[in-house]
Structure 1
Amino acid sequence: MTVSLASRLAALWLCCCAASGASAETFEVKMLNRGPHGAMVYEPEFIQAAPGDTIKFLATSNGHDAVSIAGMAPAGATAFRGKVNEEIAITLTQPGLYGIKCQPHYAMGMVMLVRVGDTPLAQLVVPEDVPEQARQRFENIVSRAAAATR
């Protein structure tokens, strides 16, 4: 069976169109002194992402950064550390739950959660050394996120 050049070109064009539709998304997160859930917050505090999506942290208030929390990322995930008062963009490729903190305001509970893929929120493990206010904020984030998906 012979396939015509026109058929081959049509198949190639369809493949290219299908591949271009599967683009990654970029989420913007504001680092704030005050937000809807209190002082020293990321807005939004929770993101549902897909592997390959990018999170861009915006320096909208002074004194904040975005840093991965040791022990709160899936196996194989790359740790990151932004600089205070500077934007940082990270691309998350490993499915799982990612805890993120503002290093200067970590003890005040400035954290956020990113879920890449469909890992259940109930699988979040908060390490023992996480400050109490940050631990409480993670509990609140999970509670609000779970309620929003019902």
Structure 2
Amino acid sequence: MWRGFVLAAAALMTLVAGVEAAEVEVKMLNQGAEGRMVFEPNFVKINPGDTVKFVAADPSHNAETIPGMLPDGAQPFKGEFNKDISVTFDKEGVYGVKCLPHAGMGMVALVAVGASYPNLEAAKGVKQTGVAKKKFEALFKKLDETKGAAAQ
């Protein structure tokens, strides 16, 4: 009987370990595959409870939320310049992220959390300018293409 209990406990522990939250790394770069002043990758689809670590791979960058581009009740974040910041995303929705000094140059990213995006239309409605506007158009298109796909 004890043997069965021990085996069941071991199986349960294995299942729980498999449900562990993930961490995704996003680099803040002066030069990347898609040009200058970029987050790489600039689109991340994750599950609630997962963490994104924004890595200061090059100097003079930060990562922070864009007002109006996060779900209701989600906490905004603002990283320090030249420092990594890890953010755990608990609320489903889309989060717009920018590098404060380089947003106008298109240094923006989109984090899609979960399978439903209750703030999607509000996020799309946030006024963007310059290269950031074109980048977000492409990022929202990428989101549309991935709807229904599992988080990665």
Give the alignment's TM-score, normalised by structure 2: 0.84
In structure 2, the partner of 1:57 is: 54
Q: Which moved more, 1:111-120 or 1:41-50?
A: 111-120
The percent identity for this pair of structures is: 37
Residue of structure 2 equivalent to 1:134: 132
Match of 2:116 in 1: 119
Q: In 1, distance between residues paired with 2:15 and 2:74?
A: 28
Q: Could you tell me whether the CA contact under 8 Å between 2:71 and 2:93 is conserved in 1?
A: yes
Normalised to the residue count of structure 1, the TM-score between the two structures is: 0.85
Q: In the alignment, is the contact (CA less than 8 A) between 1:121 and 1:146 conserved in 2?
A: no
Contact 1:126–1:135 under 8 Å retained in 2: no
| Counterpart-to-counterpart distance in 1, 2:146 and 2:92 | 20
Q: Which structure has the larger Rg?
A: 1
Aligned residues of 1:29 and 1:44 also touching (Cα < 8 A): yes
Q: Distance in 2 between matches of 1:122 and 1:140?
A: 18
State the distance in 1 between where 2:90 and 2:10 align: 28
For 2:117 and 2:86, the matched residues in 1 are separated by: 25
Q: How far apart, CA to CA, are the structure 1 residues paired with 2:117 and 2:100?
A: 26
Cα distance change on mapping 1:13 and 1:37 into 2, 3 Å: same
Q: Is the 8 A contact 2:70 2:119 kept in 1?
A: no
User: Residue by residue, what CA displacement relative to the aligned partner does 1:77-109 show, whole Å, maximum 9, x if unpaired?
Assistant: 111110111111111111111110001111222
Consecutive unaligned residues of structure 1, counting only runs of 5 or more, are: none
- Size of the alignment, in residue pairs? 147
Q: What is the letter of the counterpart of residue 40 of structure 2?
A: E
Q: Among 107, 112, 127, which residue is 1:110 paired with?
A: 107
Among candidates 64, 74, 77, match of residue 74 of structure 2: 77
Give the structure 1 partner of residue 22 of structure 2.
25
Structure 2 portions without partners, runs of 5+? none
Deviation at 1:147, TM superposition (A): 4.5
Change (3 A) 1:112 1:72: same
The Cα shift of 1:16 comes to 1.5
| SS of alignment partner, residue 106 of structure 1 | helix
**Residue 148 and residue 22 in structure 1: after superposition, are their counterparts in 2 closer, same or farther (change >3 A)?**
closer
